[in-house]
């Protein structure tokens, strides 16, 4: 995979940079977690120092090929400008007259941003020719292309894959760092190697569980997905989230782990409530005795302590998915315990992006408390599944 060093002298060159600035916004349009924007800064600063003329491409939300002011990149452009200490001029369109004028007005070291690339219907098109047509318009704005949005490298999209095939291309520092960390997780990781999986659904993580059972020593399971595991063992789960169509698959994982000497660790206690609500009264019950009228919203304190002990004694840990409804204080204990344990790992600790990254920041942890916080939850999981990622494949050679 080519890197910035392979692109040579970039002074005066127009550099198209695909960033991942897909940050969460509150109802007023204010950014609630700027982690992805901050993660994009080092590569952009390096390009500025090199005298490049930088054109940032990014998306926000899912406008589905239509211009929607709710998904404008204006908040991201403003925050990026604050972090870089320079004005980041946002074009009023993606590949139209405003974009052309903004790019033409760049001087060495300047940074501009195109509007949300997902305003363009062809950006996410399944039609190769449509995407290629849009990629050619992107390519008119750049002499070289830098892929630095790891959160989208698993997507075959015009600003990720197709434009990389039209211009001299390389990975930015963020993508390079993400790939190096994931290689450490998949190629001879230091042991013990523990993986912590949470989130809502088992079905979202079937392939990654299948692959990790071959490489990890211990799999700790929490979040909504744990109830399908408990039900597969024959335990009642009350009104908890349950994927009945995955019960046989989960039983297969449990049998595979036992057969191959791997550990799948499930909670022994659960925090339940009568309703899915922040103010619902929490109760701790045994994991094999969830009342019929209750639903599980977090792993219990006994389980949290056990998970933390296993994590802290590991040399390599990958975590993806909260242990409960971490945005509600009454049900954040398990997630907080896992996060705190990751800060004590003597080795590599990786927070696998997405909801996990947002949760640790919301709980007051700093990014540098961990070995690595990924910016791409879905991309990280697909890499760990062993899938080919189109955005990385396009940078080979």
Task: Tell me the angle at which helices 377-385 and 354-362 cross, rounded to the nearest 10 degrees.
Answer: 130
Catalytic residue at 378?
A: yes
* 36 carries an active-site annotation: yes
CA-CA distance, 205 to 226, in Å (whole number)? Answer: 12
Burial of 226 (0-12, 13-18, 19+ CB in 10 A): buried
300 with 287: CB under 8 angstroms?
Answer: yes
Q: Binding-site residues, please?
A: 20-22, 36, 59-62, 118, 155, 205, 296, 327, 353-356
Query: What does the chain come to in residues?
Result: 397
Q: What distances in angstroms separate CA 285 from CA 183, 240, 281, 331, one per listed residue?
A: 39, 13, 13, 14
The one catalytic residue among 2, 137, 201, 387: 201
Residue of 139, 137, 101 lying closest to 119 (CA atoms) = 137
Report residue 51: phi and psi, to 5°.
80, 20
Q: Where are the beta strands (DSSP E) in the chain?
A: 14-18, 53-57, 88-90, 111-113, 144-147, 169-171, 193-197, 218-221, 263-265, 269-273, 283-286, 295-299, 316-320, 348-351, 372-373
Distance in angstroms (rounded) separating the CA atoms of residues 276 and 299: 15
Whether 334 sits among the annotated catalytic residues: the reply is no
Query: Residue positions in the annotated binding site for (2R)-3-phosphoglycerate?
Result: 36, 118, 155
Identify the active-site residue in 36, 156, 306, 336: 36
Beta bridge partner(s), residue 298: 271
- Please choose, from the candidates 316, 317, 285, the residue with its C-alpha nearest in 3D space to the C-alpha of residue 298: 285
> Closest Cα to residue 58, out of 40, 43, 85, 35?
40
CA gap 251, 332 in Å, rounded: 28
Phi, psi of 74 (to 5 degrees): -55, -45
Is there a catalytic annotation at residue 354?
yes
Q: Are 112 and 153 in contact (CB under 8 A)?
A: no
Q: Can you read off the two tokens belonging to residue 359?
A: 């949760």
Contact (Cβ atoms closer than 8 angstroms) between residue 71 and residue 63: yes
The catalytic position among 324, 333, 354, 376 is 354
Which listed residue (65, 81, 96, 378) is catalytic?
Answer: 378
Q: Give the active site residues.
A: 36, 201, 354, 378
């Amino acid at each position: 995979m080519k890197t910035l060093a392979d692109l040579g002298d970039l002074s005066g060159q127009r550099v198209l940079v695909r960033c991942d600035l897909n940050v969460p916004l509150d109802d007023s349009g204010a950014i609630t977690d700027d982690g992805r924007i901050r993660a994009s800064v080092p590569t952009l600063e390096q390009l500025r120092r090199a005298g490049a003329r930088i054109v940032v491409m990014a998306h926000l939300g899912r406008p589905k090929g239509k211009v929607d002011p709710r998904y404008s990149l204006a908040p991201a452009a403003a925050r990026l400008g604050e972090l870089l200490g320079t004005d980041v001029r946002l074009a009023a369109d993606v590949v139209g007259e405003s974009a052309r004028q903004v790019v033409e007005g760049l001087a060495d070291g300047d940074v501009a941003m195109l509007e949300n690339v997902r305003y363009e219907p062809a950006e996410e098109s399944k039609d190769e020719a449509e995407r290629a047509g849009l990629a050619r318009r992107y390519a008119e704005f750049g002499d070289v292309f830098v892929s630095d949005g790891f959160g989208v490298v698993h997507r075959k999209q015009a600003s990720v894959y197709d434009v990389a095939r039209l211009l001299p291309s390389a990975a930015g520092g963020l993508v390079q760092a993400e790939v190096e960390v994931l290689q450490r997780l998949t190629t001879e990781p230091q042991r013990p190697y523990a993986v912590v999986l949470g989130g809502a659904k088992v079905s979202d993580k079937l392939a990654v569980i299948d692959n990790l059972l071959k490489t990890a020593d211990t799999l700790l399971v929490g979040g909504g997905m744990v109830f399908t595991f408990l039900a597969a063992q024959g335990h009642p789960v009350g009104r908890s989230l349950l994927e009945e169509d995955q019960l046989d698959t989960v039983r297969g994982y449990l049998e595979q782990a036992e057969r191959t000497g791997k550990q799948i660790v499930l909670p022994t206690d659960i925090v339940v409530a009568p309703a899915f609500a922040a103010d619902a009264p929490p109760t701790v019950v045994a994991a094999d005795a969830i009342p019929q009228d209750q639903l599980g919203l977090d792993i219990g304190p006994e389980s949290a302590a056990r998970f933390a002990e296993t994590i802290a004694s590991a040399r390599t840990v990958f975590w993806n998915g909260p242990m409960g409804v971490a945005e509600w204080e009454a049900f954040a204990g398990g997630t907080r315990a896992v996060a705190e344990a990751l800060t004590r790992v003597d080795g590599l600790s990786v927070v696998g992006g997405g909801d996990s990254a947002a949760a640790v920041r919301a709980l007051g942890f700093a990014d540098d408390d961990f070995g690595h916080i990924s910016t791409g939850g879905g991309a990280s999981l697909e890499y760990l599944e062993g899938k080919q990622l189109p955005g990385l494949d396009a940078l080979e050679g």
